[in-house]
Structure 1
Amino acid sequence: MDDKKERREALGKEIRRLLKLRNTKGKELAERLGVTPMWVSKILTGKAWPRRDTMSGICVALCHTDEEQNTLERLYSQREVSKNRPPLEALAENYPVRKSRAMDFLKQRTAELKLKRAVATYLQEREIDYQADFCRGGLSSDFLLNLGGKSIALECRPATLEQLDTKTEMLLAQELVNQGVAEETLIILPEGGELHQLNLDGIEFMALQYLGDRLSKFGV
């Protein structure tokens, strides 16, 4: 048996011992860690090696003493844990915060991808010529449209107008125009909001469902 497999199995065995001691099931541990039960099962049977953040979560969920945590950490790293290791209380306090921040990031990222996908579908259905994820030098745009020789940049923002830093958005949009990337920049927000169209110093904010009305001015 290779050394890596022995380490995985030894770690899994200790986690199983703690699960039994805490009267906790693998499924419950998975829910607390925010991972799938299958992934936890692989860790418990020595078929997978947990990531550092997952391991920290396991310590928080199952270790009630520094000795228990020290044992898990030693099996994980195969060396004595540093005396400078954060105490168990610190891990317990920080892990939910880190997880919450990660989930907020994923939620925001998912909303952004959904909006970009909706915009791409809209453009494809109307056979509008566009380039997605345009980059040039230090400048970029979610979509760059070519409308009869006129270039229009579309920036997707999965938020309400109140949630946006409108001044920053206006500066970024204007820079695309100033640097010759686009002749106009439109900032697209999700459908269903109260905002229809709003022009702030030449920069237009609008919900996706009103993009057609705006593009119709270019003969689309």
Structure 2
Amino acid sequence: MLAPGQVARRVLGRHFEPVGNVYRRVFVNLNLIADFLDGELPNGAKIVDIGGGDGALVERLLNRRPDLAVTMCDLAPSIGAFLSDLHRARVELLPATDLTDVTGLYDAVTISDVIHHVPVDQRDSFFKSLATSCERWACRKIILKDIEPGGVRATLSLLADRHITGDKHVVLFSRSDFAVMARRYFPKAQRVSAVPDWPNYCEVLSW
């Protein structure tokens, strides 16, 4: 049985993007997140965007940074639906692809609203794979965006993921949860925290 979000995508067709943007704005201001990413990414950077989904955040980032090149990987079979024709040529789409299967050299990794969808008992494995992949990519920077638990907006986001998106097992991933993973798998990294749009936070690791 399809989740309500999947039904809406099919019913709305080409109108799904504007409706989806209005719906998403309840939970996060992607323009504020893109502004933060803009300030953290070096000129001409090659980026791996893990779990990029429909590409809404990448689209906004490329509007600000025409110098960037993005490779987007996601386990989903179809990704990048919200990328404009203008930017699509600058994004390499890798649907149905695990991060461990991505090859090449990259300057930075971006991960937005992914970890709270990773089952809790698989998060250690995810970060271990991320650390190994960063070595292989010669990458020295990770920028993660997720949602701090607590408060009305975070609760609404959690309920939307469970009952509209259809992920019944979603569990929010706090900044303290991230700190544990950072110390465990990136012990030499410097960490910078920011909250561009509460409860949406960003964490930066660089080494």
TM-score (norm 1): 0.31
TM-score (norm 2): 0.32
Name which one, 1 or 2, has greater alpha-carbon Rg. Answer: 1
